[in-house]
Amino acid sequence: MHKLRITKIDNKVVWEIDGVESFAYVESDPEKVLKGGYFAIRLMNPAMGIYDNVRVYEIP
């Protein structure tokens, strides 16, 4: 089992797996920065995955 953490602050998104940063993205176009609402975690075919204990927090 692995621990996945996704953090979005302003225009930066960071993916960490088991505490190790695996991906980071900074959006330079302010028009494309998502403000809030929905999110998704997507697996590509034929990958299989199960997610549990999903928690969403607002970082003040």
| Tens digit of each residue's pLDDT (9 = 90 or more) over 5-41 | 988 888 899 999 999 999 999 999 988 887 777 777 7
CB 49 within 8 A of CB 40: no
More confident: 5 or 50: 5
Q: Is the pLDDT of residue 47 over 80?
A: yes
The predicted pLDDT at position 15 comes to 92
The predicted pLDDT at position 20 comes to 97
The predicted pLDDT at position 8 comes to 86
Beta bridge partners of 16: 5, 21
The predicted pLDDT at position 46 comes to 87
